[in-house]
């Protein structure tokens, strides 16, 4: 602020029409303010009689038409060649800069400062760039608050050397001393980087011992919240050597130490069946699960631990029917499946931690499966012809995402990611046995129950079932605006099953990315013209976890057979297999009998284990049919393409797209709309217009060329949301353009 007050004092002279001003700073203590003066003012220094003469010459020749500030350490009354400028124009004698500062502070704030000279001069340097509230605060808090550490510490810790080097030498020394004092050190001459490391050490030690300094805790919170500065914190954290920790449950709840979380989890794992211990630690686990700063450090698996240990298995005993088992699974057990999936993804390589958690999960799911298989005689697949039924019941254009290996739990997570953007109906159907892709995809696509291995053949069958409808088949990741206009779009998505087969349990690390992709594509489908989107799948999968040979079921079927990780198919009924296996008389390929484990254990087969399907568990058979529909939206200004008829048969190489805005409804959102025209050829975007802004009743047009293409799709979209507003197919006429000869 001091630079502003000096500027105002000088400007008074220039405002009166004079263009020369003399600033006499006897001790040179205000020299740093010269750089803060306006760039269109010329500063000429003169500290001797010869300097005065030279400065006067320059002012009257090179700077005759610009404002000039003469800066000198000569008292005004002893000036020679600049005396005339001082007397006629204006001058400011500063014999004691601290007195000038006090006078200005009192004049502009009404406060008197009681600071010693050194503190006052330092405060003036710090005040540059600040407003007068800095001085008002200083008058209340005293010299201890010359530096606002709450604001200055974070940029200092992020880049110590560059932050300190930007300060005047005296300010830098005072600042580093003040920082050292704050952490209880006797100020010493140290490099800025060393001081920053010591401050961070103090901060981290306070978090570890749950005795954080309030100011440093505030800085820490903002540090983790800063996308630009967080990297420097991680560097300090990596170099930090923690003190001995007596009790890992006594750290500050916002701490960044992943190793402490692992120590706590080790305690939990060691006492999974000790409810008194778990109850004691539960509040801390719940707090950590919700902790913002833990999540910012990617320590976001506590929620899964809490869900797993909080699950009350007593509810399983209330299941008294096959329908009850499905209802309980969907409403109560899905969070347990999700928790185990997240924990496997996080700790797959840490067998001492994950194995006890996995065994605990298997105990829980085992109780549920016992009920499920007790009532399994009521099972009957409802998958056959599902796509046919969905299309039959459509009202307007629809999109159907056909996933491969999407469990009900994953569909539920996708729904949560979609959020409130769309309304959701969460339903399910029962997949066929065995729950494998070739079998279950055949059931989805073909209502006649036949088995077809090739995807293209299944698609041809479905299209033939609805000859009057326009049905398009596309990979989900390839959807775009060119699909609008079709009655039905079938979007295939194989990533989950593909990753599972190739990576096994390692695929679990990537499932959240898959969930993000599907949820974003659902929103995109709605925007490009499909108000109803269905999500279905062929089968689910189970989390068998880390397993050894002793965990696997050893069976040796007789006769022609096919043995996989989750089912055995046999040509003949088996009489020597373990009695606890589930037998289902059902045709699959050349086989007539299917056998399944009544738990999550795998049959002993060659190859990898872990990510599996084909069995008869709820996770494999109770699969999602989620329907997403557009909610009621705010009325916006309608914009349409008006010359569609003329665009069906265009003579020549060029054509014009004409747009017309509607009358609006008087609402705030219907007064204006920004649009874009997208140009597609063969399903690929090849061009786009500028942003076209239209108000009520306005029109606009854009001219384009076919660029030697016989047909183009022109799609009008909202420039902000990318929602489709209108579409036209532009076709080039076969009649030659005769250039106006006729």
Cα pseudo-dihedral 195, 200, 206, 209, rounded to 10: -120
Would the pLDDT of 318 be above 60? yes
pLDDT of residue 741: 44
Give domain limits for the chain. 2-95, 147-243, 257-377, 382-542+613-629, 547-609, 639-731
Please tell me the predicted confidence (pLDDT) of residue 671: 79
12-39 pLDDT, tens digit each? 888 888 889 898 888 887 877 877 888 8
Query: Residue 340: which residues within 8 A CB-CB, separation 6 or more?
Result: 304, 308, 357, 358, 361, 543, 545
Would you give the DSSP letter of residue 447? T
- How far is residue 528 from each of residues 359, 525, 678, measured CA to CA in Å? 46, 5, 12
Greatest CA span in the chain, whole angstroms? 122
Does the pLDDT value for residue 614 go beyond 50?
A: yes
CATH 2.60.40.10 is held by the domain 639-731: yes
Looking at residue 495, what is its pLDDT? Answer: 65
Instruction: Give 382-542+613-629's CATH code, choosing from 3.40.50.2300, 3.40.720.10, 3.30.70.20, 3.40.50.970.
Output: 3.40.720.10
Beta strands in 382-422 (DSSP E): 398-403
pLDDT at 132 over 50: yes
What are the pLDDT digits (tens) for 153-207? Answer: 999 999 999 988 877 787 788 789 889 988 999 989 999 999 999 999 999 999 9
Average pLDDT of the residues in 55-82: 89
Side-chain-side CA neighbours of residue 284 (13 Å): 19
Cβ(57)–Cβ(49) below 8 Å: no
Residue 143 pLDDT class (50, 70, 90 cuts): very low
Which percentage of the chain shows pLDDT scores above 70? 90
Average pLDDT over residues 294-303: 95
Report the C-alpha gap between 610 and 501 in whole angstroms. Answer: 10
pLDDT at 668: 53
Mean pLDDT within 601-629: 87
pLDDT surpassing 70 at residue 257: yes
d(CA 569, CA 595): 6
Per DSSP, 324 falls in state: H
The more confident residue out of 292 and 506 is 292
Average pLDDT over every residue of 77-100: 83
Whether 382-542+613-629 and 639-731 share one fold: the answer is: no
pLDDT greater at residue 366 or residue 89: 366
Q: What is the pLDDT of residue 519?
A: 96
Give the separation between CA 589 and CA 442, rounded to whole angstroms.
12
pLDDT at 633 over 60: no
pLDDT, one tens digit per residue, over 643-675 is 898 898 898 889 999 999 988 765 555 678 899
Q: How confident is the model at residue 740 (pLDDT cuts 50, 70, 90)?
A: very low
Asked whether 132 and 124 are in contact (CB, 8 A), the reply is: no
Each residue of 597-610: pLDDT tens digit? 999 988 988 755 55
Rounded (10°) CA dihedral 630, 632, 635, 640: 30
Higher-confidence residue: 286 or 666? Answer: 286
CB 261 within 8 A of CB 305: no
Q: Mean pLDDT over residues 440-457, rounded?
A: 92
CA angle centred on 63, ends 59 and 65, rounded to 5°: 115
**Which pTM was predicted?**
0.76
Q: Given the DSSP bridges, would you call strands 488-493 and 398-403 parallel, antiparallel or unpaired?
A: parallel
- Predicted pLDDT at 742: 42
Residue-wise pLDDT tens digits, 208-241: 999 999 999 999 999 999 999 999 999 999 999 8
Average pLDDT taken over every residue of the chain? 88
Q: Has residue 736 got a pLDDT over 70?
A: no
* Residue 565 near residue 605 (C-beta atoms within 8 A): yes
Q: How many CB atoms neighbour CB 312 within 10 A?
A: 8
Q: What is the pLDDT of residue 503?
A: 60
- Out of 317-326, 686-695, 728-737, least confident range: 728-737
For residue 134, what pLDDT is reported? 65
């Amino acid at each position: 602020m001091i630079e502003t007050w000096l500027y105002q004092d000088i400007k008074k002279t220039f405002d009166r029409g004079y263009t020369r001003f003399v600033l006499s700073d006897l001790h040179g203590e205000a020299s740093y303010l010269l750089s803060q003066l306006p760039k269109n003012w010329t500063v000429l220094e003169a500290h001797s009689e010869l300097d005065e003469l030279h400065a006067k010459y320059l002012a009257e020749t090179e700077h005759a038409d610009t404002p000039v500030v003469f800066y000198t350490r000569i008292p005004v009354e002893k000036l020679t060649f600049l005396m005339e400028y001082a007397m006629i124009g204006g001058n400011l004698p500063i014999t004691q800069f601290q007195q000038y500062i006090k006078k200005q502070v009192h004049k502009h704030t009404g406060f008197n400062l009681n600071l010693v000279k050194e503190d006052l001069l330092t405060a003036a340097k710090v005040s540059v760039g600040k407003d007068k509230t800095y001085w008002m605060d200083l008058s209340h808090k005293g010299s201890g608050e010359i530096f606002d550490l709450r604001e200055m510490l974070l940029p200092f810790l992020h880049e110590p050397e560059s932050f300190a080097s930007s300060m005047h030498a005296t300010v830098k020394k005072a600042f580093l001393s003040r920082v050292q004092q704050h952490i209880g050190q006797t100020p010493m001459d140290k490099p800025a980087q060393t001081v920053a490391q010591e401050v961070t050490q103090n901060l981290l030690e306070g978090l570890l011992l749950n005795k954080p300094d309030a100011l440093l805790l505030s800085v820490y919170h903002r540090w983790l919240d800063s996308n630009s500065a967080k990297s420097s914190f991680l560097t300090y954290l990596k170099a930090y050597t923690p003190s001995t920790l007596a009790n890992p449950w006594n750290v500050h709840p916002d701490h960044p130490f992943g190793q402490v979380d692992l120590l706590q989890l080790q305690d939990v794992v060691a006492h999974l069946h000790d409810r008194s211990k778990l109850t004691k630690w539960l509040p801390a686990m719940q707090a950590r699960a919700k902790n913002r700063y833990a999540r910012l450090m990617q320590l976001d698996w506590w929620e899964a631990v809490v869900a797993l240990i909080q699950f009350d298995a007593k509810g399983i005993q209330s299941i008294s029917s096959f329908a009850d088992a499905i209802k309980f699974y969907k409403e109560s057990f899905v969070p347990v499946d999700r928790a185990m999936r997240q924990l496997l993804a996080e700790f797959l390589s840490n067998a001492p931690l994950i194995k006890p958690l996995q065994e605990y999960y298997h105990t829980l799911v085992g109780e549920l499966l016992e009920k499920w298989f007790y009532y399994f005689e009521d099972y009957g697949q409802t998958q056959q012809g599902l796509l046919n039924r969905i299309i039959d019941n459509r009202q307007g254009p629809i999109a159907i995402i056909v996933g491969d290996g999407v469990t009900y739990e994953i569909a539920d997570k996708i729904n949560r990611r979609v959020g409130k953007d769309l309304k959701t109906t969460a339903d399910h159907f029962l997949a066929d046995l065995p729950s494998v892709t070739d079998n279950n995809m055949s059931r989805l696509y073909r209502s006649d129950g036949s088995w077809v291995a090739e995807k293209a053949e299944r698609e041809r069958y479905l299209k033939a079932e609805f000859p009057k409808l326009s049905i398009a088949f596309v990979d989900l990741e390839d959807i775009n605006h060119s699909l609008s206009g079709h009655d039905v779009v079938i979007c295939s998505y194989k990533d989950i099953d593909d990753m599972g087969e190739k990576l096994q349990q390692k695929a679990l690390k990537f499932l959240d990315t898959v969930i993000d992709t599907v949820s974003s594509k659902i929103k995109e489908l709605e925007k490009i013209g499909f108000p109803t989107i269905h999500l279905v799948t062929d089968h689910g999968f189970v989390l068998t976890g880390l397993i050894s040979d002793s965990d696997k079921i050893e069976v040796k079927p007789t006769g022609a057979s096919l043995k996989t990780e989750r089912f055995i198919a046999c040509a003949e009924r088996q009489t020597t297999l373990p009695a606890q296996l589930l037998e289902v008389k059902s045709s699959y390929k050349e086989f007539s009998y299917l056998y399944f484990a009544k738990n999550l254990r795998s049959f002993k087969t060659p190859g990898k284990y872990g990510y599996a399907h084909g069995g008869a568990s709820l996770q494999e058979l109770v699969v999602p049919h989620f329907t997403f529909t557009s909610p009621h939206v705010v009325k916006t200004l309608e914009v349409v393409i008006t010359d569609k008829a003329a665009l069906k048969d265009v003579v020549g190489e060029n054509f014009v797209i004409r747009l017309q805005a509607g009358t609006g409804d008087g609402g705030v959102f219907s007064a204006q709309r920004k649009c874009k025209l997208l140009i597609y050829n063969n399903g690929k975007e090849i061009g786009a217009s500028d942003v076209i802004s239209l108000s009520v009743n306005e029109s606009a047009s854009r001219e384009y060329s076919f660029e030697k293409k016989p047909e183009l799709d022109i799609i009008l979209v909202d420039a902000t949301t990318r929602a489709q507003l209108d579409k036209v197919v532009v076709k080039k006429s076969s009649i030659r353009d005769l250039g106006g000869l006729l």
